[in-house]
Amino acid sequence: MKKAYSFNDYISIINSKLDSFVPECTYGEPVVCDAMKYSLSIGGKRIRPVLLLEFCRVCGGEVEKAVPFAVALEMIHTYSLIHDDLPCMDNDDMRRGKPSCHIKYGEEYALLAGDGLLTRAFGVIAQSEAAKENPACAVEAISVLSDLAGVNGMIGGQTVDLMNEGKKASIQTLEVMDRLKTGALIVSAAKLGCLVAGADEIKTKAAVNFCEKIGHAFQIIDDILDVVGDEKELGKPIGSDGESDKSTYVSLLGLEKSTEYANQLTNEAIEALSVFGDEAELLKEIADMLSKRKN
């Protein structure tokens, strides 16, 4: 098994590489590249890239090789946050405790920065060392990411979310929406990490199962934090779900049942890790940390 990394080791690797994958502007108007770098650099928990790198490691892969895939995933996540904050979506002025991209750079450039991150993400994978060594792996990774971030993945979830604005959605609708909107990118971390490592089907299934469960718990906790969270710690205002009359786990199940549900999913996620034996310690810690997160 390859050397173990701590959560902070992974954060350092990711944070030190993100900027270098944003292209230099060659025509003298760097505003969009600056906005891309700004949104990538203002923080964030880096959960998705950390999971990707750790799944690669526990499946016997080389973490260094997986870094561009992790960067690509964080770029797609960051693009979704930039677009989600725009006035035509959630109209949020703050993100990760700092002014949202459109507040800092204007709506037009924020839109382009999101587009820039999305398109660049696929280039980062296609141009990686791993792609040169194993083009089929890169093509598969691009295909997986494009499906999970696309209209039957994250974008689909956002569409269901928009269509249900102002309506009382059922718990079933909520589960579909969150599986797509929040879960799909978290699952892509498992799929891509396993793919780069050349993991077998049993390990890939276990990794996907783990990410589906923590992705689901993640959204429930997001809904809980929107009610009982601390604005400073969250880096964004709370109460927006209630204000927009949005159906959430909390509004449908109540705080106590939502918390129990999130804990149950976290336990199930941890059980799914048994196939990785002693190597799963950090993944268990991540599940536990996410279940107790305050931001």
- Of the candidate residues 2, 17, 37, 45, the single one contacting ligand GRG (CB under 6 A): 45
Contact mark string toward ligand GRG, 56..95, x via CB under 6 A: ------------------------xx-xx----x------
x-or-dash string of contact with ligand GRG, 148-187, rule CB under 6 A: ------xx--x----------------------xx-----
Among 18, 33, 47, 131, binds ligand GRG (CB under 6 A): 47
Q: How remote is the C-alpha of 96 from its chain's centroid?
A: 14
3-6: long-range contacts, CB 8 A cutoff, minimum separation 24: 4/57, 4/279, 4/282, 5/53, 5/54, 5/57, 5/63, 5/282, 6/282
Q: Which is nearer to ligand GRG, 47 or 273 (CB)?
A: 47
Which range in 41-49, 52-60, 192-200, 205-213 contacts ligand GRG by CB under 6 A? 41-49
Would you count residue 54 as binding ligand GRG (CB under 6 A)?
no
Q: Rounded to the nearest 10 degrees, how much is the dihedral formed by the CA atoms of 126, 128, 132, 133?
A: -120
How remote is the C-alpha of 146 from its chain's centroid? 14
Rounded to the nearest whole angstrom, what is the least distance from the CB of residue 52 to ligand GRG in the complex?
A: 13
> Taking CB under 6 A as the rule, does residue 222 contact ligand GRG?
yes
> Which two tokens mark 184?
């799909």
- Using left for φ > 0, alpha for ψ between -120 and 50, and beta otherwise, residue 185 falls in alpha
Question: 44: helix, coil or strand?
Answer: coil
For the bound state, the minimum distance from the C-beta of residue 44 to ligand GRG, rounded and expressed in Å, comes to 3
Residues within the interface to ligand GRG (CB under 6 A): 44-45, 47, 80-81, 83-84, 89, 96, 154-155, 158, 181-182, 222
